[in-house]
Chain A
């Protein structure tokens, strides 16, 4: 970590336009001292992976409220592995049923924050998860 601020990419994959949560989380992470890149809408998995590599981020957060979360988490996880960036923490949030959490975990996805989560939880989680990756 070497004292450098955490760098986080917040991404909106696919056609979903619900961006309230993604923007709130991005601002909260920034206010917590992290460096945040927000992709904007309509990103494909290759675009997200490319941005993660270019921006040399520690973590990638995907926000999906459209029900297409399994597709996008799977594609981004695979893309990060293919790019040799499996140490990047992949996490996310949205309208995601509990029953899909085991499958997401098996894909290598860390925490998934659903409605009602606090930004403090996201901040604490990222600090711990990124530290664990670098230890």
Chain B
């Protein structure tokens, strides 16, 4: 019996007998639920909505998934760039339609693989990328004009994006033809994922630099992917995820407009990223409400005239936090149902988690099963044939309205706190997320919420094979960095870093300097050291 199986105690109490079935029920974020919904719940509803039309509640495309199926984009990365490159080729060979890159913690935090703080972490939870050479190895043999690439990178987003663009330029690719996404959503790092470097105000300025530079030079690139995913994983509920994410997106738009940018010049390149958790209809309603709120804000509050500025395009990922270490194969069922919610909610891109991710990074077989799950939904179930098939459902429309109403109330509370940056610095977000996750844990332990294999239906299962990370990764990456520093044109690298420093200090757009740094083989750590020196390092208030 393994340690984790011993921990799971079968729960005696069980709901669902006739007498209990009618008792009060709520969604995961606490929306009270009726036993049945009827036309009465749609009293006062507005005129019927249509997909592809403002406010896009029913989807951003008039042709739905018939016109364009969602992009199957599996988040992958571990070990050396060469190892991850092999995984990329395997996923593309298996029918994946876009790439998504997971970087290791040193890279995410802006430290080179040979930095003392990187010891023990290189290549562990993603791929190690410190320089242009690593980036070139990561995408070896992949047609960068033919595939779209998403990179989950935030604090050093500009530096990493510039390395990707430089790698493409060195192969003769046209930047105007490159498509992809950098996450580049630093606000949710302070709120949830905690991979920040410099303080919020300076970090947001760097994001606005990309919003200004990106659409002019890499017009098909999504420059920011405003992410609720991590806010949810940190322990929030669906309403908090929706509200905090949209408030973050609105904050970038406000800051960019304050710099003097025309909202229609950058808003079409802002995309989103939401979580797909266990509460099936609530997740569908969340995605529908997100599109409606964003469209209204962009058109009515910010005066955007281009309909592409109004549309909320989103990636979605099944909830890693919902996966259990107990009976890990059961996660296959959770992921399939969560992914179906994403599709019925009209996501434009989807990652499905692998069943073994509560234990380790996924094996190739587990990642392939997750991709196959999407392919079953896309090609066997028929759900992609009709747009927003739940539109008009008394329940789903009511829940969509309810998610919208509750999210807007929370956004107003953020405004009362002084806005997103003030609410970060005061620990407002951290307290709310901490409260929700603790209440959720208490509900599970009290048996009010059942989790199969954890507090109900516990049983022993044989261990599953796990992905191992080669401990030599750190050594080989450090060796590569030593060679790079010895062989590059030192004067060119120093000059590029000086230019980055000058742009950061003077308030000029930093993107040209980041691109020069990439070509001059400056490392991620060297560039982030410049930013940390100019802007300082952020320390979060410790809250429980």
Residues of A near any B CB (own CB < 8 A): 14-20, 23-24, 26-28, 30, 36, 38-41, 65-68, 70-72, 95, 97-99, 101, 111-121
Contacts and interface: CB of A to CB of B under 8 A. Distances in A.
Given A23-B434, A66-B121, A72-B120, A115 B544 contact: no
Contacts, number: 120
B193 interface: yes
Contact of A14 (B120, B233, B234, B323): B120
Interface stretch (B265-273, B354-362, B379-387, B396-404): B354-362
Given A15-B106, A23-B544, A24-B437, A114 B124 contact: no
A115 B109 CA distance: 25
Contacts of B451: 116
A58 B191 CA distance: 31
- Which are the 3 A-B pairs with shortest beta-carbon distances? A17-B194, A71-B120, A67-B124
A65 B230 CA distance: 14
Contacts of A67: 121, 124-125, 360-361, 469
B106 A20 contact: no
A17 B325 contact: no
A24 B438 contact: yes
A28 B445 CA distance: 11
Contacts of B105: 14-16, 66, 68
Interface residues of B, number: 51
A118 B455 contact: yes
A27 to B, nearest CB: 5
A17 B7 contact: no
A15 B360 CA distance: 17
Interface in B424-453: 433-434, 437-438, 441, 444-445, 451, 453
Given A15-B106, A71-B119, A114 B325 contact: yes
Contact of B542 (A40, A111, A112): A40
A115 B325 contact: yes
Nearest to B436: A20
Given A16-B105, A98-B3, A99-B466, A24 B441 contact: yes
15 contacts: A18-B193, A23-B434, A24-B441, A27-B438, A65-B125, A66-B121, A97-B360, A98-B359, A114-B4, A116-B7, A116-B8, A116-B324, A116-B451, A116-B453, A117-B7
A20 B437 contact: yes
A99 B194 CA distance: 28
B325 A116 contact: yes
Contacts of B125: 65-67
Contacts of B189: 17
Nearest to B233: A20
B376 interface: no
A107 to B, nearest CB: 14
A21 B121 CA distance: 20
A38 B433 CA distance: 16
A50 B321 CA distance: 32
A126 to B, nearest CB: 14
A117 B324 CA distance: 10
B438 A17 contact: no
B182 interface: no
A37 B117 CA distance: 23
A30 B201 CA distance: 34
B525 interface: no
Nearest to A41: B194
Given A40-B542, A116-B324, A121-B7, A95 B120 contact: no
Contacts of A40: 540, 542
B453 A17 contact: no
A97 B117 contact: no
Contacts of B544: 23, 26-27, 30, 36, 38
B445 A118 contact: yes
Contacts of B420: none
A37 B463 CA distance: 35
B358 A115 contact: yes
A114 B235 contact: no
B2 interface: yes
B454 interface: yes
Contacts of A15: 105-106, 108-109, 111, 117-118, 121, 195
A57 B542 CA distance: 19
B96 interface: no
Contact of B359 (A27, A66, A70, A97): A97
A116 B454 contact: yes
Nearest to A120: B445
Contacts of A97: 359-360, 466
B542 A95 contact: no
B2 A19 contact: no
Contacts of B324: 115-116
B119 A23 contact: no
Contacts of B359: 95, 97-98, 114
Nearest to A16: B105
